Each structure stands twice: as structure tokens, then as C-alpha cells.
Amino acid sequence: AETRHYEFNIKMQNVTRLCHTRSIVTVNGKFPGPRVVAREGDRLLIKVTNHVTNNITIHWHGIRQLRSGWADGPAYVTQCPIQTGQSYVYNFTVVGQRGTLFWHAHISWLRATLYGPLIILPKKNVLYPFEKPYKEIPIIFGEWFNTDPEAIISQALQTGGGPNVSDAYTINGLPGPLYNCSAKDTFKLKVKEGKTYLLRVINAALNDELFFSIANHSLTVVDADAIYVKPFQTDTVLITPGQTTNLLLRTKPNSPAAAFLMTARPYVTGPGTFDNSTVAGILEYESSAAASIKKLPLYKPVLPPLNDTAFATNFTNRLRSLASPQFPANVPQKVDRRFFFTVGLGTTPCDRNATCQGPNGTKFAATVSNISFVQPTTALLQAHFSGQSSGVYTADFPFSPLRWFNYTGNPPNNTMVGNGTKLMVLPFNTSVEVVMQDTSILGTESHPLHLHGFNFFVVGKGFGNYDPINDPKSFNLIDPVERNTVGVPAGGWLAIRFLADNPGVWFMHCHLEVHTSWGLKMAWLVLDGKLPNQKLLPPPSDLPKC
């Protein structure tokens, strides 16, 4: 294993898309940001220096951070932000993971422009459990806003309304030819005939689940969130914000005299407005025959309709852990603690003397177990480690909400939610099952839930209300998909299991950034174990202060 060093200088950079030039926050002036590459087992030392006026943190999305929670990155959860002129070295080791992940800013909406691939190669001389790819290509989806996303979210939070949607989706930062003023900003993938390409696909968009497809080519899914799955073929992939996946693309044996669009557009389940535009890139065969033809015919893929829940359900049902002797699925078979959490939208009162644009003059809010999470002003992990939780958080997260109504039926009259900075405490090595139930209080919606510090197994899901007697009978405890982000179905429920073997404070939230901003987030506090190697490491000396 090696130690790899990176330097992230956070600085402003002028970037033009759709004929709009904005000064955006970047890493090293790049948009999207630089690739971080490591092998399983390597240590990463990434020095982040803040040269902008915003406070910054960076999250290594999907990295388990075993005992190294100080390097996880969510602002006010594991660290105070890096302030202007300061730096912080994120120091962590990649243990037992290989595949595609990503890094992104984890404060306010700065991940709109601060994100990039995090690629973990297998250990030296260890092969992939599939054919060796000829080339590996990152494909990272994002969103482009013609105005400043920080202004968009702060205006939405003040007025209580829904924020403006993005103006385009992007592939590797480029909106592509289907948008006005964008043809020259198109991602092109030049390929050779008869080869296998590994596409490392990341959804870094703020607010939209995406369908992705390449015209006249099928894709083989081999991995999800840096865990191998049983390979399967599909024409279209569904990927939620926070999810990553590796796909094999086998190119045609004889050079076709054509070019092929790759496109992505959203899967929409919720109420409210969405950016329903389509991003496109181009797959081109390098062969001389194709190159000599000036105007190649261009084939477009057919994507599922925007609200195609049948496709989404069918696709996610096909994801199964590889569960091989070399890559076993260690699904917790027995459960120490069972939790039932609701996830969904609600409302909070408008500030006195203000007019709010949310439902019935209130503000939008979003919750886990009907609690809209209030961000503290100091970091939870520091408060825990130093034994100074008083005034920062309370350890009374409600584990089972009142069963006051039929969650997916008619909404209740009272849509007001509670709030607080509440943590759920778990002793070391607790085996946990969490059922997350979407609610219809303000309309059902699919919520891509992301857990920090762990992968979990998706042992069950369904539509309607969870039935605690009958639904567990059909749980998959053999080869359920293992991942860090999963969509709770709109108007349905989802059951996950994980082993709490990583001491620290671990954020869990909807990866639709607007829902995170509205409070659809909570944190687990996993206590130290008895043995020395079961304890959270002490904080690094350069850990930022609030």
C-alpha cells in the first residue's frame, strides 16, 4: 500500500456554459474537479486550502472512514468548516473497498460546482471479477445553474418556497448539443471497435435522479457504489444523486458509419418543478471510415418517460450483490435494534412579520421521523469526543414515530413538523435494521437516502405502508445489494441492515440537496468498543475550529 498526496486549492474561476459566464468555486480552477485515484489499502492525504470567501468542507462520498470520522467532511457534523485562508489535511485509508466513488463539497449547495471522481483500483495483481477493460472512462453527471446556487438556496430558505431548478444537466461538466448555445460544450467519447470500456458513472447532480442510455448499445452493470454486483445487461440505467456505478460498454465489432448520442434526463416522482431537460454526449468510433464521413447519421437513445416508476422498480430489483467466495455479502442475519423512520416533506411556521411562499403561507420542511434536523453551530463529533454535548445535541432521536395515520394515504390536517438536533446512539457493533417509510404529507416522492461511515444491505422494499408482520418474510438475506445510497420508493418503504462497527458520528440524509436543506437528515452516534482498535482515533491537530 502507498500514501498518495493531493492538493486541493479552492479558488474562483470563470466558467461559461449556455452562453452564461459565472465565477464559480472550483478545486484548482477545474470544473468538474480533479480525479483522485488510489488503490484499495492506500492512504490518502489531501490538503484542502481555502482561497475563497465561502466556508468549505469536502466529503469523500462512500469512503467508510473506519475510525477516521474526522476526515469524513459534512459541515458541523464531523468538522467545523475550513475558513478563508485556512487549510486542513483529510487523512484516511481506503479499507476493503474498490470501485467508483466521488468527492464533493458538504456545506450549503457548494457541491453544485465542487465535485470530482474518486477512483479506487483493486490491490496490485488483483483482477476485476469481469473481463479486463481496454479503457476506463469517468462519466460524471452534474447540473449547471446560470445563476449562483448559493443565492438560490438562501432565497428559498428565507421565503420558504421551492428553489429554482438548474438550467442544464452536464456530463463531465458539459451540457451538450440539445441545449441552446452549447454544441461546442459536448462530451465526446471516442472508441475503437470490438473493445470493452469500463464507464465509471457518478450522479453528482444536486436534485435529480437520472435515466442514462447510449443509443444502439447495451450496458452491463457490474458494480454499484463501489461494490461488485451480479452482472446484468440493460439499455438504460437509473442513478440517483449520491449513487455511482460501473458499467461495461462493449463496442461494435465493425465500425458503424454513425455516431451515437448518450443521454440522461430525470426520473421524477415528487410534486413541484423539476429541470426536465436532457443532457447529451456523443459516442464516436475512431475508425478512419467513420472519420472520413463528414456528416454521420446520429442515433438517439429512447429513455423511459419521466415518471416511469415501473422501469425504476424493475431496474433496482435486478441489483444483487455478487456474493462470491472472494466477495461475500456479509448480510447481518440477526438484528439487535430495529428502527422505523418516516421520511418525507412537511411544513414549518413562517417567521413573524414575513410572508412565506411555501404551502398555505408556511415554509417547506423535510424530516426523518417527523424531525427536521437543525444544524448546530459547532461540530457534533467534536462535541461528542470532548464530552461537551450539552447545548449542541440531544440523544433522543425518535426511533418510532406515532402511528398517527396511514403514511401513504390521505395526508393529515396538520403538516407541521418538529425540529431539533437529535442523535440516535448505538453501542459498538450493534446490528441495525432500519425501515424507512415515505410519507404523503405533502405528496409522495422517492428519497435517495445516503448513510455516511457504512455500507448497508437493502434487504427489502415495497409500495404502500410497511407491514411489520408480513413484509420481513420476503426479505433477501442472501444477496441483497450493498451500497451507501438508495432510493426509498415514492409512496413506499425500504429496509436496510448494517453493522455499526465504526465509532463516530455519522450523517444520514436525502441526497436531493433541496431536501437536505429542508432538514431531511439525522445522525447516528456509534460509541467506542472496548478494544483499542475499536475506538475513534483522536482528532488531527489541524482540525478546523468553529
Q: What gap in Å lies between CA 180 and CA 277, rounded to an integer?
A: 11
Q: Is residue 138 within a helix (H) or strand (E), and if so which, with residue range?
A: strand 135-144
Of 216-224, 273-281, 402-410, 505-513, the window that binds ligand C2O (rule: CB under 6 A) is 505-513
Q: Which is nearer to ligand C2O, 73 or 256 (CB)?
A: 73
Stretch that binds ligand C2O, among 170-178, 301-309, 383-391, 506-514 (CB under 6 A): 506-514
SS3 content of the chain, % helix, strand, coil (to 5): 10, 40, 50
Among the listed residues 308, 315, 439, 316, the one whose alpha carbon sits nearest the alpha carbon of residue 371: 439
Strand 99-105 relative to strand 485-488, pairing: unpaired
- Residue written as cell 453501542? 427
Q: Closer CB to ligand C2O, residue 370 or residue 516?
A: 516
Q: For ligand C2O, give the closer residue by CB, 241 or 401.
A: 241
The burial class, CB within 10 Å (0-12 / 13-18 / 19+), for 407 is buried
Closest separation in Å from C-beta 296 to ligand C2O: 38
Residue with Cβ nearer ligand C2O (70 or 197):
70
* Minimum CB–partner distance for residue 462 and ligand C2O (Å): 26
- When asked if residue 509 is in the footprint of ligand C2O (CB under 6 A), the reply is yes
With contact defined as beta carbons under 8 Å apart, do 247 and 237 qualify? yes
Per the structure block, which three cell numbers stand in for 502? 465504526
Interface with ligand C2O includes 106 (CB under 6 A)? yes
CB 343 to ligand C2O: min, Å: 15
Q: In the complex with ligand C2O, which residue's Cβ is closer, 74 or 346?
A: 74
Binding-site size, ligand C2O (CB under 6 A): 11
444 contacts: CB under 8 Å, gap ≥ 6: 269, 270, 344, 408, 438, 490, 491
Interacting positions 419-458 with ligand C2O (CB under 6 A) = 450, 452
**Residue 330 Cα to chain centre, angstroms:** 23
Considering only residues 81, 149, 242, 401, which one is a binding residue for ligand C2O as defined by CB under 6 A? Answer: 242
Q: Which of residues 39-68 bind ligand C2O (CB under 6 A)?
A: 59, 61
Per CB under 6 A, 32 contacts ligand C2O: no
* Residue type (1 letter), 201: V
CB 286 within 8 A of CB 191: yes
Question: Dihedral, CA atoms, 18, 21, 24, 29, nearest 10 degrees?
Answer: 90
Total Cβ atoms within 10 A of residue 377: 11
Q: 17 or 104: whose CB is closer to ligand C2O?
A: 104
Of 68-87, which residues contact ligand C2O (CB under 6 A)? Answer: 74
Q: Which C-beta is closer to ligand C2O: that of 74 or that of 304?
A: 74
User: Under the rule (CB under 6 A), what is the footprint of ligand C2O?
Assistant: 59, 61, 74, 104, 106, 242, 450, 452, 507, 509, 511
